[in-house]
A = this chain, B = another copy of it.
């Protein structure tokens, strides 16, 4: 059976390294952690266009088919990368700061991590948490922060999902070209839009995506803050 993405089922294990089973050869060149690290490095160097199973195998000095002893598909590799990246999302503020500041800190950090990895968003958005333990750990930290802030239990998940949706959508914005709203030759037929774009540009903000993110985030924080008991 090929390796699966999900974490080991046994929750009582204490070792970081899995205990060697009988009959198992020791000199494995490859494992999921190594594949994940190599994949992340390759993506950093070549982007997602250059990220192929063949290229990944090459960086590991291995035949492409060898990867399939540890991973069941390319999508599986993306899941591993996604989960690893999620551990870079900063949730520490939920232990140290008031709820609204913690949410802001978490949301900015979350958006910044995945704005460099937007091809993963379609993967994350529909991925069962069981397949991504570090992602699950993030949810736990955030849920705990919401509960301590006095949120009603039944609203916590919905609020997190709504924030996450906003974060994912905003991650795409970061990658959009600066002139995405230039209406060009059609400006005459879209006076309201064109004027609004010009007016925003006149403000001279470096990063329009950041302005929109801040605006939306403040609305969500203040709207959700009112739910606390």
What B residues does A146 contact at CB under 8 A? 196
Complexed CA–CA distance, A200 and B188 (Å): 49
Tell me the minimal C-beta distance from A12 to chain B in angstroms: 10
A165 interface neighbour in B137, B169, B191, Cβ under 8 Å: B169
Q: List 6 A-B contacts (CB under 8 A).
A: A140-B189, A158-B215, A162-B213, A162-B219, A165-B213, A223-B223
Query: Contact between A200 and B158 (Cβ–Cβ < 8 Å)?
Result: yes
Hey, what's the 0/1 contact readout for A210-226 against B, CB within 8 Å counting as 1? 01110110111011100
Tell me the minimal C-beta distance from A98 to chain B in angstroms: 18
Interface majority SS (helix, strand, loop, mixed), chain A = helix
With CB as the reference atom, state the residue of chain B lying closest to A227: B215
Complexed CA–CA distance, A169 and B211 (Å): 18
What's the interface size class on A, roughly? 35 or more
Complexed CA–CA distance, A88 and B193 (Å): 19
Any chain B CB within 8 A of the CB of A183?
yes
Complexed CA–CA distance, A11 and B122 (Å): 38
Any chain B CB within 8 A of the CB of A147?
yes
What B residues does A206 contact at CB under 8 A? none
